[in-house]
Amino acid sequence: MKSLDDLKGLIRSIPDFPKPGILFRDITTLIGHGDGFADAVAHLEQRVQQVDGEAIAGIEARGFIFGAAVAAGLRLPFLQIRKPGKLPVPVLAIDYALEYGTDTLEIDPGSVPSAGKVVLIDDLIATGGTATAATELLVRAGATIDHALFVIDLPDLGGAERLRAKGLSVDALMGFPGH
């Protein structure tokens, strides 16, 4: 299995995207590397096993890629946290603030196990707004959630600390300084 440093080397950095002064961490190069992607999933699986996760929740869209792969590998249920209007059943929804405006996340409450520990997985934690909303939505749906896993943490943006302040244990495979 590739080391976390090797996996970090598979992340492409793109300066001035989506606006000047931002150094964008592009995870598509990791996903597009067969061995690297498989090893990143294996590292996430190990961490889920360490916390005795019993279901995985992933945030649309790249959280689906990593979360579903981990859930399948561990033979655990996968819970989809969706963008609005994607689910054909009555949903629970939460609105949350973005840097410029608001957004909404939805979940099928019938998909959430009434007992068992759900682990949230997403590709990247930046300011933590989406992950915080996702955890609040899972709790409203009846989930027990106290762990969140990410492939990348941008610690300077404070998202992981924001989740920790809400009582979650937060872990990431790699961190990058800056934003």
Q: What is the pLDDT of residue 24?
A: 92
The verdict on residue 164 lying in a domain is yes
3-state helix, strand, coil in the chain (%, to 5): 35, 30, 30
Domain that holds residue 152: 52-174
Question: For position 98, what pLDDT does the model report?
Answer: 78
Q: Find out whether 142 and 109 touch, Cβ atoms under 8 Å.
A: yes
- Record the pTM: 0.95
Which of 136, 142, 146 has the alpha carbon at shortest distance from 168?
Answer: 146
Residue 169 lies in a domain: yes
Give the DSSP H or E segment for 149: strand 144-153
CA–CA dist 87, 66 (Å, integer) = 20
Strand partners, 14: 24
Residue at 21 is within a domain: no
Residue 113 is predicted with a pLDDT of 79
Residue whose tokens read 């790699």: 174
Asked whether residue 43 is domain-assigned, the answer is: no
DSSP string, 45-72: HHHHHHTT--EEEEETTHHHHHHHHHHH
Q: Residues near 141 by Cβ (< 8 Å), separated by ≥ 6? A: 92, 107, 109, 112
* Structural domain includes residue 7: no
Residue 85 belongs to a domain: yes
Which pLDDT score is estimated for 118?
96
Please give the torsion angle defined by the CA atoms of residues 129, 133, 134 and 136, in that order, rounded to the nearest 10 degrees.
140
CATH number of the domain that 82 lies in?
3.40.50.2020
Number of domains the chain contains = 1
Question: Does some domain include residue 45?
Answer: no
Residue 24 and residue 14 in contact, taking contact as beta carbons nearer than 8 Å: yes
Task: Flag residues of the chain having pLDDT under 50.
Answer: none
Helix (H, G, I), strand (E, B) or coil at 104: strand
Residue 42 inside a domain? The answer is no
Instruction: Please give the radius of gyration of the chain, using alpha carbons only, rounded to the nearest integer.
Output: 16
What are the backbone dihedrals phi and psi of residue 167, each rounded to the nearest 5 degrees, phi first?
A: 95, 10
